[in-house]
Chain A
């Protein structure tokens, strides 16, 4: 599987070629999961899926991402389950994603290939702006823990910059920079963690570290910063001032489609690789939006083999900014994420009194 994809550079296909390659692979995956996951088969039947009428990318049926919170969906026998990934997402019970060994390896391989296009194929030392506690005690912050573990194999060495009390460990940072600071390295953290646990202490202690060879990879957490009125631009300029960071790389992704992430280029755009795509859909009709129109984000990916997660309707809004024409030179769609869809205050008899006790 995916031989054709693996021969190609990850951002090398133009629209027509990519659509055709992606569509055929996704349609095969739809059939594969239909045969191997009974619940998925039932859903397709309720959605009146008809393989003969599925003729283009946009016709591939999609599951609401929350379905993975409510149901255990897998297309592999129980004894093949190698790893269960969880994500907390919007809160409530976490999604459970079932991976067999092959699928787990595939995700990591593709993630590495995509990152490689941005920061080089070599594994780099990685300074994580978090506490090793999130790995040791996964129940604390399951999503953060999962993301960090997912990156571990991509790092030559992974060092945690914070101690158990979320304090910046100056000695560790100095050691790291002394050893690795003279060539390329990676700093990874969630935006609000970087803001509060890297920028804040460095500024208040008036410590100057030289992070200029580092690429700051962030993974979400914008919502928390937004609530403090911090825009991505402010975030970057503060990072430049305090740490001398020159390269910033945000990304968009989810546990339900690990591996095929959307990485920010030099122009500030998140790019779809040949392995995946984003279709934005009108909230009223679910029909595809045009370029530039905001809509609900649907993500498709050719990586989910052990569970039917190859086409998902997320709960995020976004805009496809363009296709094949980003000045950075990468082909494919590039997008902007507008954020999580707001929950609605509904009328009705049954209420949330009991929820408030929790």
Chain B
């Protein structure tokens, strides 16, 4: 750790970091039983050599870029693979990377860390200076110390964590990236949906939602329906989903109660709304109008707010700072993007096709991760 202060930063997309990550990809994919963990496998694919090379192409000014120095990451406790995703951008940016991972144990974390340790011990020993993954019991002292020497601090885990960690001061030039609580929505054209394979669509939507207990920032909570045949589309969509949830999701009694509580809280707040569903697998509430306040009553585990719109522009009031991903089905991504630009709204960092909200990318929450984690060394050319 101490040596990190004097360790030279690496250039962006350095051979060292690229080589290490590509080797990590191979190492992870050779781990026995890894196929049981789709999240670990998708991560491993994301960092294979060809994928890294194509990412480099997308960063055309990378040869002007150098790591900022020490990057201190605080990973969230509930999405096990996230720490590795944050690490990947940080190493590719050229930083000495320190990551505090959660004390909660996950087989996914063990798998990735074992693979890393194996590489660091052996042919990638030179990366030891650049990577340190730690667990520590909640101690503001340690957070203070790490914060005081870092050049970049990356905080995952939501608003509460951010305000806790921000009690530890940063050096004057240090830069901070925070990943706050966000919410996401889906926009579905009902006429288009009715022409789709409803089973596949249900699967895609399940992956976006129930796969992470609908608690990921990118999981849609609000569903906006467009088109002419809304009623028919909704009936088919929700009954397909319910069948899938019934089959694949282990709904606990407390989740039923939490969802019911949220519906009652929403009602008590005076937001005009009506509960639609008659079982707790998929709980739906129809909203009479779109006011961002309804999001105060979100909870995970399959609680959906629904709104029927005649025109896509009706969603503008809910594209607030807290709105992250808009996933679409039968609606052009470009149309949504144009709306964001037309109104200059403060939210929406990402527009994806339904089923891809969980994708691992080098763009997140409006950051181009590697660019933000590195600095540009500009030389004025006067010839």
Contact = CB atoms under 8 A, between A and B. Distances in A.
Interface of A: 38-40, 42-48, 63-64, 66-67, 70-71, 73, 283-286, 296, 313, 315, 317, 341-344, 346-357
B344 interface: no
Contact of A351 (B157, B212, B252, B279): B157
A71 B265 contact: yes
B369 to A, nearest CB: 16
B77 A284 contact: no
Interface residues of B, number: 52
Contacts, number: 148
B255 interface: yes
A67 B280 CA distance: 18
B32 interface: no
A35 B251 CA distance: 36
A283 B265 CA distance: 19
A346 B301 contact: yes
Contacts of B280: 283-286
B281 A354 contact: no
Given A283-B256, A296-B257, A354-B164, A348 B78 contact: yes
Contacts of B274: 45-46, 48
Interface in B249-303: 251-257, 260-261, 263-270, 272-275, 278-281, 285, 300-301
Nearest to B263: A46
10 contacts: A66-B261, A70-B261, A283-B253, A285-B279, A346-B213, A346-B300, A349-B215, A351-B161, A352-B77, A354-B164
Interface in B215-254: 215-217, 251-254
Contact of B251 (A64, A284, A286): A284
Given A43-B264, A284-B280, A351 B253 contact: no
Contacts of A351: 76-78, 102, 157-158, 161
Given A66-B261, A70-B265, A349 B79 contact: yes
Q: 5 closest A-B pairs (Cβ-Cβ)?
A: A348-B215, A46-B267, A350-B158, A354-B160, A283-B253
Contact of A64 (B255, B260, B281): B260
A42 B266 CA distance: 9
B307 to A, nearest CB: 15
Given A39-B268, A47-B263, A354-B164, A349 B157 contact: yes
Given A286-B280, A353-B164, A317 B264 contact: no
A350 B159 contact: yes
